[in-house]
Amino acid sequence: MALRYIDGQEARISENDGIFVDLEFFGEEEILRGLEPRRLFPISGLDRFVTLLDSEGAEKAIVRDISRLMPESREILEKSLREYYMIPRIKRFIKMNDSFQIWMWTVETDRGEFTFEIRNHVVSIKMLYDGRVLIMDANDNRYEIPDINALDQRSQRMLLPNL
């Protein structure tokens, strides 16, 4: 069975409820309702290849590139993805406390200030070649530093030894 791609103008995505969206292919009668958008590459390619799953988890279509959708469709899809994927971007390190061998980091993110635990810095922190750093806390929540070089000096000094 071939994958069905949406390239841009041939379909409309409209709002359903919360993270769910409806999908309508022009020239087709049926409107697919209550689909859930998911990124196929949540780490490496944020705006490309977004799959639309029905309530059974079966794929209905793949959006090749969000930016090529019609503006309203694009807006709705992006809103849904923003709702679903919560990967706070760390802007600044406030504190790194490692008393009792427990590593607590307090950070400022684009979603506010938060404190979380890092269990094992070997597996929980990953630095990519483009300066992006991905972090997973003890509860499997994700965080991202978009560009380590853009952090302030103090934050860099706190983080660098752990990479």
Give backbone dihedrals phi and psi of 109, rounded to 5 degrees, phi first: -120, 175
Q: Which residues pair with 31 in a beta bridge?
A: 24
CB 40 within 8 A of CB 49: yes
End-to-end CA distance of the chain: 43
Kindly indicate which of the ranges 44-52, 66-74, 104-112, 146-154 contains the residues binding another protein, using the contact rule CB under 8 A.
Answer: 104-112
Nearer to another protein, 14 or 120 (CB): 120
- Decide if residue 88 touches another protein (CB under 8 A): yes
For 6-35, the DSSP string reads: E-STTEEEEEEETTEEEEEETT-S-EEEEE
CB closer to another protein, 82 vs 95: 82
Contact range with another protein by CB under 8 A, out of 22-30, 46-54, 71-79, 94-102:
94-102
Class of residue 122 by CB neighbours under 10 A (exposed 0-12, middle 13-18, buried 19+) = exposed
Shortest Å distance, C-beta 163 to another protein: 6
Site size for another protein, by CB under 8 A?
Answer: 34
Stretch that binds another protein, among 1-9, 23-31, 64-72, 76-84 (CB under 8 A): 76-84
Residues 4 to 43: which contact another protein by CB under 8 A? 17-19, 34, 42
Sign of the alpha-carbon dihedral angle for 129, 130, 136, 140: negative
Residues that bind another protein (CB under 8 A): 17-19, 34, 42, 57, 82-88, 100-102, 109, 111-114, 116, 120, 122-123, 138-142, 160-163
